[in-house]
Chain A
Amino acid sequence: MADFVQQILNGFALGLAYALVAVGYSLVFGILRLINFSHGSVYAFGAHAAFFMVGLHFGPVPAIIAAMLITGVLGVVIDRTALAPLRKKKSVSIAALVTTLGISSIIQNMLVVIFGSQRKPFPDFFNFGTLELGGVRLGSRQLVMVTVSLALLLLLLMVVNKTKVGLAMRATAQNQKAAALMGINVNNIITLTFLMGGASAAIAGGMVGGYYQIVYPSMGFMIGLKAFAASVLGGIGSLPGALVGGLLVGVIESLAALFFGSNYRDATAFIILIAVLIFRPAGLFGKKEVVKV
C-alpha cells in the first residue's frame, strides 16, 4: 500500500514536469496548428542553460530564471528564423513539421559541441530533507517540483484566460484573419507563444535536472515524446488538457513501473498515445474540429 501511494506521489511530481513541457506543444499547436517537435530539445537546452548559469555561481533561483529567459528567446529565434519564413511563403504544413525535426537535431548537436555528450552532474539544490509518513517518503525535491510547476501552470492558465493578451491569444487560435481585423498584431502573439513555451520548458528542464541531478544533450528526447503523448491525451491545444494529460501520464507510468517492472515505464506513455488515437482522437478536453468544405 505504501508503495502504491509512493508511486502515485512520484508520478504526480514527474507528471507536473511533463505538463510544463506539454503546455509548450499545446500553446504552439493552438495558434499555428503545428506540432513543434523541436520542443524536447528546447527543454534540454533549458536544462543546460540552467546548468551553465549554476556553474557561474548563480543561485538556483536566478539560474533557472535566467535559463527561462534565454530559452524563451531561443523559442522566438526558432520561430523567426525557421518557421516564420515558411508561413510567409504559405508552404504546406508538413514542411514546418519537418523543419522542427531539423531544428531539434541542430539544438541537440549544438549542446553536444558546447557541453559535450556525457552526462553532467547537476547540483542537488532542492534537497532539504525528506518527510516520512507511514512508509511514504516525500522528498523536498518533489515538493519543490510540485509547488513550482503548479504555480507556473496556474499562472499560465490565468494569463491565457483572464488577461487582454490572453484573450488575443485565444482569438488568434480560433481565427487568425479575424484576429488581425481586431487590430491584434498576430506576429507578436506568435512570438509570445514561443516565448512562453520555451520558458516553461526551461523551468521543467531545470527542475527535472535538479530532481535527477543530471543533464545531458539527449535528455529531451524521451520527455519530449512523453509530453507530446500527454498533450494528445489531454487534447492538444488545450492548456487544462496539458495539465491533466501530464499528470495522468506521470502517474500511470509510475504505477506501471510498480506493477509490471520498471522496464515498462517508458512504454506506458506510448501505449496511452496509441489508445487515445484509437478511442478518443480529440483527447480528454479537445473538441472535434469540424472541417468546413
Chain B
Amino acid sequence: MLKISGLNAFYDNVHALKSVDLEIKQGEIVSLIGSNGAGKTTTLSCICGLVAARSGSITYRDKDITNSPTHKIISGGIGLAPEGREVFPGLTVEENLRLGAYARRDPGGLADAYSRVYDLFPRLKERTAQAAGTLSGGEQQMLAIGRALMSGPELLLLDEPSLGLAPNLVLMIFELIREINKQGVTILLVEQNANLALYTSNRTYVLETGHVVISGESRDLLKDEGIKKAYLGQ
C-alpha cells in the first residue's frame, strides 16, 4: 500500500533519514520505534509532504507522492495525527472534526464520519461545543486521532499517541487503535514505548540515527536479545 525506498531527508545540514526503506501492506499495523532523534517523526513528515525528501521515493497505491503538496496527499487518503496533537486550540471540538473532513466531497460522508468518531470516542461527543484548548491531554489525543479519521483515510499515521498520557489512558487509546484497524484502516504507528508498539503491531521497523537497523514480525522482535536490551529494558 505504501512503499518508501531509499529515502533521504535533511534538516539544513543534518542528515535525518539515511536511505530508509519501509513497506506497509493493506490492513497491517506497522510500528516504527527508536529513541529520540532517530527519525521517526521525520519519516511521517516526509510521507505527508511536510519535510522535503532530498532523494528516494514514496509511493502510495502505486502513485508517486514524493514531495507532493500536503493537502493533496491528505485528500489522497492518508491521515496523520501529529506529534503533540496540534489540535486547533481556539476552535471547538466540532469545528476541529469538521476541519478533519475538509477534503471530503462525498455527500452524506460527513454525517457518517461524525458518528463513527463519536462512537469510537464518546468523550468527544460530550464536549462538542468546548474549545479544544481546554480539553485534557487524553481528550486532545482522542480529538487528534478522531480528526485524522474524519477524512476517511485508508492509511492512518499516528505519531506518539501515548506521549504524556496516564497509563490507563494509554491502554485505552491503544485498544481503540486496534479497533480502528479492525474497521479496515491500515496503521503506521510511531511510538517511543517499544513494548506497547511491539505488542500492538504486526510488523516493526527499528530506526537508529536515521537508519533502519532491524525490521521484522513484531512477535519475533519481542524475543530478540538486542531489542530486549536496547528498547525493552530487559
Seen from chain A, the residues whose Cβ lies within 8 Å of a Cβ on chain B are 164, 167-168, 170-171, 174-175, 177-186
CB distance from A64 to the nearest CB of B (A): 33
Q: Which of B74, B89, B91, B98 contacts A181 (CB 8 A)?
A: B74
Interface size class of chain B, counting residues whose CB lies under 8 Å from the partner chain: 20 to 34
Give every chain A residue within 8 A of B177 (Cβ-Cβ): none
B interface: dominant SS: loop
Tell whether B67 is near chain A: CB-to-CB under 8 Å: no
Seen from chain B, the residues whose Cβ lies within 8 Å of a Cβ on chain A are 48, 50, 69-71, 74-75, 80, 82, 86-91, 95, 98-100, 102-103, 147-148, 151
20 contacts between A and B (CB under 8 A): A164-B98, A167-B95, A170-B95, A174-B90, A175-B88, A177-B50, A178-B82, A179-B99, A180-B50, A181-B50, A181-B80, A181-B86, A181-B148, A182-B100, A182-B147, A183-B71, A184-B99, A184-B102, A185-B69, A185-B71
A181 in contact with B70 (CB, 8 Å): yes
**What 6 A-B pairs are tightest by C-beta distance, nearest first?**
A183-B103, A180-B70, A183-B74, A178-B86, A182-B99, A182-B102
Closest to A185 in B: B71
Give every chain B residue within 8 A of A164 (Cβ-Cβ): 98, 102
Q: Complex Cα distance A182/B100, Å?
A: 5
B86 in contact with A175 (CB, 8 Å): yes
Closest to B45 in A: A177
Give every chain A residue within 8 A of B48 (Cβ-Cβ): 181
Q: Complex Cα distance A170/B132, Å?
A: 14
Q: Which of B75, B89, B95 contacts A183 (CB 8 A)?
A: B75
Give every chain A residue within 8 A of B103 (Cβ-Cβ): 182-183
Give every chain A residue within 8 A of B91 (Cβ-Cβ): 167, 170-171, 174
Closest to B74 in A: A183
Closest to B75 in A: A183
